[in-house]
């Protein structure tokens, strides 16, 4: 295996809000006890209406993100409309399930909006696809679930979702050694896929620390 394929370790989170979806990850990649990279991309834009977070082997994750993005773009060109989140999650699940002889060692969150509303799907290495109002993956997920179970509420706004995402990832980064080195976040709503700036994330972190 090349070095890139050995890099792993992650915490990601996806939240369904009343006015969109929030996806967020931390940025550390580990190689055993070694921190292999401190600015790893774990959040990918798939199209204007959907994004993907990845946990697991970096090589597998990057390839699957490129694969899904290409398939979604081909669909949009052929049909002249956006692919639904349910269709995209089914497509990704079928891709992953078709490789039974050597699974993709990843866990994915696919989130976004379509004509039926806002959605987050969790996809496991065997191709299982499960929708829910909030999801988390990776080594720090038990700490994230502790925060989300206590603080998530139905019909929360995107602004509230961003604060909750930062709070949850911060809790994971404090206790999980494979998670850390900053937060990457996006919002997907009626305006499309929007990356949350580092400055805004820092302001949220400051607010939570007060």
pLDDT tens, position by position, 56-101:
888 888 899 999 999 999 999 999 999 999 999 999 999 988 876 7
Report strand pairing: 129-132 vs 134-138: unpaired
CATH of the domain at 27: 3.60.20.10
- Residue 2, pLDDT score: 39
CB-based contact 96:78 (threshold 8 Å) = no
CB atoms within 10 A of CB 126: 12
- Phi/psi at 144 (5° precision): -65, -45
Structure tokens given for 185:
């976040």
- Residue 36, pLDDT score: 64
- Residue 121, pLDDT score: 97
Which residues are tagged catalytic? 10
- Residue 1, pLDDT score: 35
- Residue 179, pLDDT score: 66
Domains in the chain, number? 1
Structure tokens given for 196:
């949350």
Q: Which strand (E) or helix (H) includes residue 10?
A: none
- Residue 6, pLDDT score: 44
Residues 6+ apart with CB under 8 A from 56: 8, 10, 104, 105, 106, 107, 125, 138
Helix (H, G, I), strand (E, B) or coil at 33: coil
Residues 6+ apart with CB under 8 A from 22: 13, 14, 15, 111, 158, 161, 162, 164, 165, 185, 186, 187
Q: What does the alpha-carbon distance between residue 81 and residue 113 come to, in Å, rounded to a whole number?
A: 13
- Residue 4, pLDDT score: 43
- Burial class of residue 190 in the structure, from the number of CB atoms within 10 Å of its CB (0-12 exposed, 13-18 middle, 19+ buried): exposed
Q: What does the alpha-carbon distance between residue 115 and residue 85 come to, in Å, rounded to a whole number?
A: 10
- Residue 94, pLDDT score: 93
Q: Domain residues for 104? A: 3-209
Q: What does the alpha-carbon distance between residue 200 and residue 21 come to, in Å, rounded to a whole number?
A: 17
Ranges of the chain whose pLDDT falls below 70: 1-9, 29, 32, 34-37, 100, 176-181, 210
pTM reported for the whole predicted model? 0.89
- Phi/psi at 203 (5° precision): -65, -40
- Residue 127, pLDDT score: 85
CB-based contact 185:13 (threshold 8 Å) = no
């Amino acid at each position: 295996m090349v070095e890139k394929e050995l890099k792993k370790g992650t915490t990601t989170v996806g939240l369904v809000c009343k006015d969109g979806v929030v996806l967020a990850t931390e940025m550390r990649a580990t190689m055993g006890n070694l921190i292999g990279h401190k600015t790893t991309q774990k959040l990918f834009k798939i199209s204007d209406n959907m994004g993907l977070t990845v946990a697991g082997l970096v090589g597998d994750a990057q390839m699957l993100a490129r694969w899904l993005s290409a398939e979604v773009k081909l669909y949009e060109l052929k049909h002249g409309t956006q692919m639904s989140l349910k269709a995209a999650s089914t497509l990704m699940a079928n891709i992953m399930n078709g490789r039974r002889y050597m699974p993709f060692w990843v866990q994915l969150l696919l989130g976004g909006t379509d004509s039926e509303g806002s959605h987050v799907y969790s996809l496991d290495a065997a191709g299982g696809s499960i929708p829910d109002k909030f999801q988390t993956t990776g080594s720090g997920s038990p700490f994230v679930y502790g925060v989300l179970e206590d603080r998530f509420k139905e019909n929360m706004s995107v602004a509230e979702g961003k604060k909750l995402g930062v709070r949850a990832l911060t809790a994971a980064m404090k206790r999980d050694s494979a998670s850390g080195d900053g937060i990457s976040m996006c919002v997907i709503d009626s305006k499309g896929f929007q990356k949350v700036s580092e400055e805004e994330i820092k302001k949220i972190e400051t607010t939570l620390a007060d």
